[in-house]
Amino acid sequence: MTTLTPIPADRSSPPRRRWRIAGASVVAILGLGAASQAALGLREPQQPTSQVAPTDRTVTVVSPTAMPVTTDLLLPAQLLPYEQTNLHARIDGYVAKWHVDRGARVKAGQLLAEIAAPEVDQQTKQAEAAVEQGRALLVQRRADLEQAKAELDAAKAQVKVAEANREYAASEDKRQTALGTAVSRTESEVAARNRDATAAQVLAANADVGAKEKLIVSRVAAIGTQEATVRGLEADARRLKEVQGFKRIVAPFDGTVTRRFAEVGMLLSTVTPQPLFHVQNSATLRVQVDVPQGYATGAKAAKVGYVIVPESPNHPLAATVARTANALDPTTRTLRVELELPNESRTVLAGTYAQVRIALAPSHTSQMVPVSALRYTPQGVEVIVVEGDKPFVRPVKLGRDYGRTVEVVSGLSGGEQLVVNPADDLAGGQTVRIQGTTKPAEPTTLAETWPSGHSTRR
């Protein structure tokens, strides 16, 4: 059996070590006590703090201003010449000579080029000869009519002669009959035959008169036909003369030749026409702008606009609203507005990219307030309305921003007193004292903000 012998404790440790152990235990106990006290302190109810009684605050107020709302649009535009066209040849031939080149300033009716058309020249001469031939034939037809009239007069004279002979023959026959046996039978028969012969002559003469009259009618109809023929020949000759005039290419209006296609010897055909010159008149420019559907109504009532050329942004050019399409483009839903820009000095080139600023007609009236009367909070924009000596918070809804002023769409009815520069801690229940009134600021206009304003809506 094993015998366990107890070992006595070591009491030879130095006293400093024992004090360190005791000190660490005390610190631990104190730390636990402090933690417990802190935990108990969190659970204790907090005592209510004393509130500071509100005092009178001095404020400055301003009233909203009811003004018509205007909108300025800044839109891209295209600048087109007031008149422009390509000049083509109206005749078959070839270019004989050209007199102006690109960039030349021309006047209406000025000769630009000449065309050689020998076939048309020959056709014109042939037509003129046909006219002369027709006129000569007309003279002949009129002479034939005069001859027919003379023959009719002669036929009528023959009728009178035949009637006279008939009367004489009838009287002789009557006389022979009255004498009875005093004359021979032969003489009586001769008198009767003469009477019958002269009567037949009268009938023949009258028939000849009728034929002559019908001939005259025919000659008159022939003259009418020939006159119509001559008129047709003359019209054809005039047409060819007009066609010959197309050999001269002239400017249709005052303007500038921007392109020349004509070259000497170039073959020209009316079947496949080719342009010879491009002429445009840029003394007045057409400024075309496409206004979005939402602003179409105001754009129709606009009277003036300002053209901004990128090369001269600080020199706007006034243009007059001339016309609108009065219908929206079904593809882009825009209204085409056209302005006229005077450009006598040709400073602005046609085809230049530009922007147009248009002040639309007022659409409605809104309350305008200065931006200093607004207070922005996480819940939205609000104003402080003073009634008597009490302030009240009123939320508002903003519309267009005009820089120094802002449009209030809802929340104000007009006549309210709004605190200027309201403090964040200013709220209802306090008492305020109005120190002064600020003059309402007017919204910026197109003239005030031009050309460097910031109220333009794109």
What does the H/E/C string look like for 12-62? CCCHHHHHHHHHHHHHHHHHHHHHHHHHHHHHCCCCCCCCCCCCCEEEEEE
End position of a domain, from candidates 359, 388, 412 = 359
Torsion of CA 227, 233, 235, 237, to 10 degrees: -150
Q: So what's the pLDDT on residue 53?
A: 45
CATH code, 318:
2.40.30.170
Q: So what's the pLDDT on residue 5?
A: 35
Residues 330 and 369 in one domain: no
| 255, part of any domain | no
pLDDT tens for 292-313 read: 998 888 887 788 899 999 888 8
pLDDT tens for 299-353 read: 877 888 999 998 888 899 999 999 999 999 999 999 999 999 999 999 999 999 9
Confidence of residue 105 (pLDDT cuts 50, 70, 90): very high
End position of a domain, from candidates 303, 332, 359 = 359
Q: So what's the pLDDT on residue 79?
A: 95
pLDDT tens for 146-170 read: 998 898 888 888 888 888 888 877 8
Residues 146 and 227 in one domain: yes
Residues 229 and 314 in one domain: no
Q: How many domains does the chain have?
A: 3
Q: So what's the pLDDT on residue 106?
A: 96
Distances (CA, A) of 314 to 42, 174, 307, 411: 69, 126, 11, 39
CATH code, 211:
1.10.287.620
With a threshold of 0.75, does the pTM exceed it? Answer: no
Average pLDDT over the chain, rounded to an integer = 81
Q: So what's the pLDDT on residue 102?
A: 94
Q: How many CB atoms lie within 10 A of CB 325?
A: 16
Say which range, 55-69, 145-159, 406-420, 427-441, has the weakest mean pLDDT: 427-441
pLDDT tens for 431-453 read: 888 887 776 655 555 444 454 44
Interatomic CA distance for residues 286 and 339, integer angstroms: 6
pLDDT tens for 125-135 read: 999 999 999 99
442: containing domain: 58-69+364-449
Residues 300 and 330 in one domain: yes
Query: Does the pLDDT value for residue 80 go beyond 50?
Result: yes
Residues 237 and 296 in one domain: no
Q: Any bridge partners for residue 312, and if so which? A: 309
Confidence of residue 136 (pLDDT cuts 50, 70, 90): very high
Interatomic CA distance for residues 351 and 302, integer angstroms: 24
Q: So what's the pLDDT on residue 344?
A: 92
Confidence of residue 363 (pLDDT cuts 50, 70, 90): low
| 144, part of any domain | yes
| 405, part of any domain | yes
Q: So what's the pLDDT on residue 36?
A: 44
Chain center to CA of 312: 25
Residues 134 and 240 in one domain: yes
pLDDT tens for 264-274 read: 999 999 899 99
| 128, part of any domain | yes
End position of a domain, from candidates 311, 335, 359 = 359
| 64, part of any domain | yes
Residues 382 and 418 in one domain: yes
Interatomic CA distance for residues 345 and 386, integer angstroms: 59
Q: So what's the pLDDT on residue 10?
A: 43
Query: Does the pLDDT value for residue 42 go beyond 80?
Result: no
Q: So what's the pLDDT on residue 51?
A: 45
| 374, part of any domain | yes
CB of 278 closer than 8 Å to CB of 255: no
| 26, part of any domain | no
Chain center to CA of 7: 121
Go through the chain and tell me how many residues it has.
458
Residues 368 and 354 in one domain: no
Residues 231 and 132 in one domain: yes
Torsion of CA 174, 175, 176, 179, to 10 degrees: 120
